[in-house]
Amino acid sequence: MSPAPPAFPGLRPLHVRLVPLRDAVWALAPWLLPCGLLLLWQLASRFGWMSAQVLPAPAQVWGTWLEYARGELWAHLLVSLKRLALGLACGVAAGAALGAWMGAAKRAERLIFPVFSALAQVPTLAWIPLFMLFFGIGELLKLVVLVKAVVVPVTVHTFVGVRDVQPRLKEAAAAMRLPRRVVLRHLILPAALPSFMAGLRLAVASGWAALLAVELLASSEGIGYLMVWGRQLFMLDLVFVLVIVVGAFGIALDKGMDRLDRKLVFWPHPPAAALHPAPAQGGERWQAWLLPLALLALWQLASASGWAHERILASPFASLSAAWYGIADHSLPDALAVSLGRALGGLLIGGGLGLLLGLAAGLLPWLDRLLGGSLSVLRQVAVFAWVPLLTAWFGLGEAGKLAFIALITFFPLFVATRHGIASLSPQLEEAARAMRLSVWLRLTRCTLPGAAPAIFAGLRLALIYAWLGTIGAEYFMPSDGGIGNLMIGAQQIFRMDTVMAAMLLIGLAGAAINALGSRLEARITRWRTQ
């Protein structure tokens, strides 16, 4: 029996008529925020709310884009891309070979990995003053910085991928007595490829950011140089254009890595790093000291034999003496304390905002729809590309440094918190409703504990970024003390011993921050293993 027709065929219920409007608003929601910001930007420039030197009009930015897109922009971009390609080729090749060697050979792991891990604790930016003394400020400096930024993630992920090949697969290959080349091609490489691709994705992002950083500091061509030139002349319209170009290229890199990952890794695979190597026993424990002692002896021999000038290569004793006197006169601890305070302040601002906004976006689908797309685009802009704008808006003082650190720590916590809440099991929500929990209890007893692993993974990353951002901020905004400012000053007067002493403290601080993040995550989420 068919339903009776409505009494007034020309009229439909209100909620039915509003469905198309609701769907249209939902589809347009990701565009509301950028369009609103563009309108606000136009109004601010139209009515003179801010100086044109600080906030150029959209029409001026568009005109600058048309002017520089005729040739000069692409010449500088091509220079940067050539540097990036060469650095990636060298760093990926070296990292893949080193990681595969350590993953396949236990002795190589015991000999090399402790030294590699210790050197990796020093952020790439902290090496730049040392590299400037060794290699000057030419093309070799850019290549060395890029290789340092790329080789660490590729080595670590390749090492984990090769080391953690499933034991049952290895046993099956041994039982069938397969040739080593067959095992390498059809077992080791496919099993390690997912982890290697994760490292490659990190390496591309790290390399692009490191390239911009070194071009901002020491270059006469490239996108970073063009940004510094525009900032010095207060041509912020040009800086805006370059930020957009950097963001567009970052998006293209990310999409390219996604396509490459889907094309190469098309089979199911278990999570990487699920297994852990057995602890060293007996004499194996001493093998980890062989390489650092050999490097220390070579360093001392090079210094004593005069292979390089003492202002370029200070001896180990001179570096330790500089560290001792720097600690005794409080110059090093005071500089380190200033830097740690900045890192904590920027983390509290940026990380706190990222946590709150990620929590809101995870709980409110409409807010996630409104903000998610715009923030995903902004996240693809290499963080050092924001330095010229931030220094123009906030100056070179403490406000500029905190703004930069807050920006670099915002995205890790925002992305991790939003992802953690979106990935919660629906059963938690059903249980909360069945128990009729209040909104506060539901948040504190179900949502936050369930998302805690993701949130604290984001916090660990934000801690590392805060320390990296602090060093970078002190390089680009050299004022008001700090360990980075101390290193730049020592590099300018060729005090290699002071540079080495500061690098030692930076590495120890980075290791302590990483350990703090791990301990905090393990303590807060210990209920999951009980």
Residue ranges of the chain with per-residue pLDDT less than 50: 1, 7-8, 10-11, 14, 270-278
**Strand, coil or helix: what is 146?**
helix
CATH architecture assigned to 315-530: Orthogonal Bundle (1.10)
Give per-residue pLDDT as tens, 496-518.
Answer: 888 888 888 888 887 787 777 77
DSSP string, 497-524: HHHHHHHHHHHHHHHHHHHHHHHHHHHH
Task: Using the CB atoms, write b or e for 6-25: b if 16+ within 10 Å.
Answer: eeeeeeeeeeeeeeeeeeee
Instruction: Please report, for the chain, the start and end positions of each structural domain, with discontinuous segments joined by +.
Output: 58-273, 315-530
In a 3-state reduction of DSSP, which class is residue 306? coil
What is the per-residue pLDDT for 457?
Answer: 80
Whether the model clears a pTM of 0.95, i.e. scores above it, the answer is: no
Tell me what pLDDT residue 169 has.
Answer: 65
Asked if 58-273 and 315-530 have one fold, the answer is yes
With a CB cutoff of 8 Å and minimum separation 6, the contacts of 295 are 115
Q: State the Cα torsion 198-202-204-210 to the nearest 10°.
A: -170
Do residues 342 and 405 touch, judged by C-beta distance below 8 A?
yes
**Residue 200: which of 52, 301, 92 has the closest Cα?**
92
How far is the C-alpha of 151 from the C-alpha of 98, rounded, in Å?
A: 9
Per-residue model confidence as pLDDT tens digits over 29-74: 777 777 888 888 888 878 777 777 778 888 888 888 888 888 788 8
The predicted structure's pLDDT at residue 388: 85
Alpha-carbon distance of 70 to 57, in angstroms, equals 21
**What is the structure's pLDDT at 261?**
81
Neighbours of 307 (CB within 10 A): 11
pLDDT for position 454: 80
Per the CB < 8 A criterion, the answer to whether 351 and 410 are in contact is yes
Cα 508 from Cα 502, distance rounded (Å): 10
pLDDT (0 to 100) of residue 348? 93
d(CA 475, CA 478): 6
| Residue 226, token pair as written in the block | 């063009």
User: 527 by DSSP, 3-state: which?
Assistant: helix
Residue pair 187/170 in contact by the 8 Å Cβ criterion: yes
Q: DSSP assignment of 56-76, as one string?
A: --HHHHHHHHHHHTTTHHHHH
CATH classification code of 58-273: 1.10.3720.10
What is the reported pLDDT for 274? 40
| CA dist., res. 336 & res. 484, Å (int) | 9
Contacts 24+ apart (CB under 8 A), 482-490: 482/335, 482/338, 482/339, 482/342, 483/332, 483/335, 483/336, 483/338, 483/339, 484/125, 484/126, 484/339, 485/335, 486/331, 486/332, 486/335, 487/126, 487/129, 488/129, 490/129
pLDDT at 46: 80
